[in-house]
Structure 1
Amino acid sequence: MYLTYIDGQWREGNAPIMGAMDHSVWLGSSIFDGARAIRGHLPDLRLHLERALRSANELGLTCEYGIDELDALCREGVARFPVDAELYIRPLIFGLEGLLVPTRSGFALTLFDAPVPKFEGFSACLSTLHRPSPSMAPTNAKASCLYPNTTRALVAAKQRGFDNAVVCDPLGNVAEFATANLFFVDADGRVVTPIANGCFLSGITRARVIQLLGTAGVDVVERTVRPQELQSAVEIFNTGNYGKVIPCTKYENHEMPIGEMATLARKLYWEFMQAN
């Protein structure tokens, strides 16, 4: 089920929102964010909405709604679904008019059924593609124009028989998975995640998991990570809005079990979510 709020009303289905001459269609000026409603819980909703507004500003877009109005709209939309629904919440801000520089923006809020993936292992390989630097692309925004490269990395990974891909920054250091942030446990038992260097979006779920692990007495080391380190990792897992915490059980030819840190991170996140 799709439910979209646009032009002051809720519409069912995949509502058309753009025309052939809209700025976002031919010049790529759109941003989105992804939040979650899971059985009535909306973890970190306002943080996602605040990031959406920041992302829009980075691309010269404007939103007609403030943070409180957006929050209320999301909750109104969630209330139209069954109480046990697991939903993806996607605010979208896009350019309508302007030559190169957008002069008018549109807004749409879509909610749709998206069950949380099971806590099962996925496989990943190293991509030959790289994340761009901040001087090359709007990497500090959740900009739609960044995602074709994600698609390319995923297609190449699937052609090799893997589920996902590890993507590096322009210097060849690990940035993240194609679709989520990356954590691993090294041979000394330390939880490590690539330091946010502006080449990838340092996610809201990433920050929440770092905070939750820290509160539980597990310090997370944020540092530069070389791809070869993943070949000897004790465990690898990802964090992201869609799946929250998911374990990686095979990286290239290196197989790993679902580890205790991924399991703990998932448990802590679920407890946080249910309390908020």
Structure 2
Amino acid sequence: MVLNSKSVSHSQTWTFFEGRWHEGNVPIMGPRTHGLWLGSTVFDGARAFEGVAPDLDRHCVRVNQSAVYFGLKPIVDLDTWLGLAREGIARFPANAELYIRPMYWPQNGVGGGVLFDPETTDWCLCIYEAPIPKPVGSAITLSPFRRPTAECAPVGAKAACLYPNNSRALIEAASRGFQNCLMLDMLGNVAEFGNSNVFMAKDGVVYTPVPNGTFLNGITRQRVIGLLRGEGVCVIEATLRYADFVAADEIFSTGNFAKVTPVIRIDERQLAPGPFYARARRLYWEFAHDVRLAA
């Protein structure tokens, strides 16, 4: 029996796989591939602005670190990742807003299939058009779902198997009319948003959850902390509860896909995009512009 399949359109995409560039949404994992079947994929993501990708090197280093943490073999060195990224970026218009995604996965499993064979590690580099979302602001709430600990998930890697839990958190929040949600760790402390890191400000001080092994210390998060501190802003990494965010003067997110975006409502309380959000976004865009000028 042949089932009807729904056609999905994708933005302009180029993927380097098995020694050459492929255009379009090229299938690179069959149903027997361990990465597709059991989600044993690690990846990273970088942004490109006008042909230059700020912090691309740090994202490529992190995907290799994720591979090691996960038990895969990081078989692509940094110079190769960067060289291929430059090749791929050049295939798009100069002003294209791009997402750059290096990936590793195992092809085969052993011992019944669940245990993957690191000797079969494969990889690709996918680059596609992805406009940066406008910073219109989001309404947030508290998710009933929590971030795992290292004892029950590979939280030290940017691993695909972690994201279904975040997805169900976002789906549950959307069912209640919210665009995002704060997720707690197993001790009840705020960890992050469903898809990005979180910051808040109170009484002239910026706070963000201290990395405690339940969420990734994001590259854009680190960059924004450094930029704010470089301008004399007091940024404290602390253990924070949901009540701290309910009482915050402002809340904003950092992440590689949307960069720096404001929160305009938490539960039923309205918030305005605040001065620390505005400064963080301005500083990040100035940093990215400086990178472009230096390239």
Relative to the length of structure 1, the TM-score reads: 0.98
Q: Does 1:176 align with 2:176?
A: no
Aligned to 2:158: 142
Q: Does 1:239 align with 2:251?
A: no
| 1:225-259 C-alpha deviation (Å, 9 max, x unpaired) | 00011111110000000011000111111111010
CA distance in structure 1 between the aligned counterparts of 2:147 and 2:225, rounded to whole angstroms? 22
Q: What is the distance in 2 between the residues matched to 1:106 and 1:249? A: 42
Tell me the distance in 2 between the aligned counterparts of 1:77 and 1:21. Answer: 28
- What are the within-5 Å matches in structure 2 for residues 113-128 of structure 1? 113-128=129-144
Residue deviations 1:44-102 (CA, integer Å, cap 9, x gap): 00000000000011111123321101010001100110000000000111110222032
Q: Tell me, in whole angstroms, the C-alpha distance in 1 between the residues paired with 2:259 and 2:25.
A: 25
Asked if the contact 1:210/1:220 (under 8 Å) is kept, the reply is yes
Match of 1:78 in 2: 89
The Cα shift of 1:40 comes to: 1.9
Q: Is the 8 A contact 1:41 1:274 kept in 2?
A: no
- Which residue of 1 is the match for residue 76 of structure 2? 65
Say what the alpha-carbon RMSD is for the aligned residues.
Answer: 0.9
Which secondary structure does the structure 1 equivalent of 2:178 belong to?
coil
Aligned equivalent of 1:201, options 198, 201, 216:
216
Q: CA deviation at 1:41?
A: 2.3
Structure 1: which amino acid aligns with 2:16? Y
Percent identity between the aligned chains? 47
Q: Is residue 191 of structure 1 aligned with residue 206 of structure 2?
A: yes
Aligned-partner Cα distance in 2 for 1:191–1:65 = 38
Uncovered stretches (5+) of structure 2, i.e. residues with no partner: 1-11
Displacement of 1:206 after TM fit? Answer: 0.2
1:197-225 deviation line (CA, Å, top 9, x unaligned): 00001100000000000001002110000
CA contact (8 A) 1:180 1:240 kept: yes
SS at match of 2:93: coil
SS for the counterpart of 2:192 is strand
Aligned residue for 1:275, secondary structure, equals helix
Using the TM superposition, name which of 152-161 and 55-64 deviates more. 55-64
Query: Among residues 5, 8, 32, which one is paired with 2:19 in the alignment?
Result: 8
Q: Which runs of 4+ in 1 moved over 6 A?
A: none
Cα deviation, 1:84-121, whole Å, max 9, x if unaligned, reads: 00000001111102220323111111111111111221
Does 1:44 pair with 2:55?
Answer: yes
Contact 1:55 1:142 in 2 (8 A): yes
- Is the contact made by 1:29 and 1:102 (CA closer than 8 Å) also made in structure 2? no
Q: Secondary structure at the match of 2:74?
A: coil
Unaligned runs of 5+ in 1: none
The alpha-carbon deviation at position 26 of structure 1 amounts to 2.5
Please give the alpha-carbon distance, in whole angstroms, between the structure 1 residues aligned to 2:246 and 2:75: 48
- 1:224-235 alignment to 2 at 5 Å? 224-235=239-250
Letter matched to residue 115 of structure 1: P
Cα contact 1:60–1:102 (8 A) shared by 2 = no
Give SS of 1:134's match. Answer: coil
Contact 1:38–1:85 (CA under 8 A) maintained in structure 2: yes
Q: Determine whether 1:258 maps to 2:273.
A: yes
Aligned residue for 1:175, secondary structure, equals strand
Answer with 114-123 or 4-13: which moved more.
Answer: 114-123
Q: Which residue of 1 aligns with 2:9?
A: none
What SS does the corresponding residue of 2:227 show, helix, strand or coil? helix
Deviates more, 1:157-166 or 1:36-45: 36-45
TM-score by length of 2: 0.91
Is the contact made by 1:184 and 1:193 (CA closer than 8 Å) also made in structure 2? yes
Q: Distance between the aligned counterparts of 2:117 and 2:198, measured in 1?
A: 34
Equivalent residue number for residue 215 of structure 1: 230
- Asked if the contact 1:40/1:83 (under 8 Å) is kept, the reply is yes
The answer to whether the aligner puts 1:35 opposite 2:46 as a matched pair is yes
- Which one of the candidate residues 172, 176, 182 is aligned to 1:166? 182
Contact 1:23 1:102 in 2 (8 A): no
